[in-house]
Amino acid sequence: MASVASKESRTNRRRARSFESLVRAGLVVIAQRGLYDTTIEHITEAADIGKGTFYAHFPSKDDLVFHLVRHGFDEMIAAGHAMPATDGTPAARVAALIRGQVQVLARRQDLVILLHQVRGLLILQPAARHRLRQEYRRYVEFLAEECRRLLGPRDLSPGDARDLACAIAGFVAGTLSFEMLVRGSRGPALTLKRPVNAFAAGIVARYGASRARARTNGARGGAGASQGGGRTTA
């Protein structure tokens, strides 16, 4: 029995190692060659693994790409959930959420490239690859929920939250894409502190503080009109 268990354990370890090798190789090769030009052969050669082993883990290249995208979004969502609770201003809380997303992608240039290319693929082929599209929607839904939590559900309708989530996702991914383009081998900035703070302040001014001020001013105006009406009647 011990011998059988030991053999199964070695088999499982080898399987786990080959799986991780394929995942790492997939990210590296796609970042280097691009999603369209990468083949299964390129990935297995980089991983030094046979094609039979690849198919033992992933039925197709699309299945590997789906795993990479899903795992990438899992990492970004986990960073958002791990954001420490803060009693700061709404702008500071929104900035912390955005910075958490920036920090994940800033250390994962391979993920920036992957998500950018898959996003383009889904735009070009809107009816294809439903599973991949669902992953992007899952990420947007996470950001929308966080925005409503940070800004308050009364200030932010579900539709506004979705639009704002798309804007935040675009700000993070787009800014880092251009950072990589401009900075080249030096890599993207790690925090983008001032742009993030400015963007967060703008969000709160539009969706949070401005609406709160409008309600306050409206209440004051109503009270003033009521008092004025009372004096006129008197």
The predicted model gives 43-71 an average pLDDT of: 96
Cα dihedral 153, 157, 160, 164 in deg (nearest 10):
20
pLDDT at 1: 58
Q: Taken in order 10, 15, 18, 21, is the CA torsion positive or negative?
A: negative
Assess whether pLDDT exceeds 50 at residue 171.
Answer: yes
Structure confidence at residue 62 (pLDDT)? 94
CB 207 within 8 A of CB 155: yes
Model confidence at 55: pLDDT above 90: yes
Does pLDDT of 233 surpass 80?
Answer: no
pLDDT above 70: residue 190: no
What is the average pLDDT across 175-182?
87
Q: Which residue has the higher pLDDT, 199 or 224?
A: 199
pLDDT tens digits for 61-100?
999 999 999 999 999 999 999 877 666 889 999 999 999 9
Residue 163: pLDDT above 60?
A: yes
**Burial (Cβ within 10 Å: 0-12, 13-18, ≥19) of residue 205:** middle
Residue 143 above 70 pLDDT?
yes
- pLDDT tens-place string over residues 113-135: 999 999 999 998 877 789 999 99
Structural domains in the chain, CATH included, are: 1-58 (1.10.10.60), 61-217 (1.10.357.10)
Asked whether residue 159 carries a pLDDT value surpassing 80, the answer given is yes
Query: Which residues make Cβ contacts (< 8 Å) with residue 93, sequence separation at least 6?
Result: 86, 150
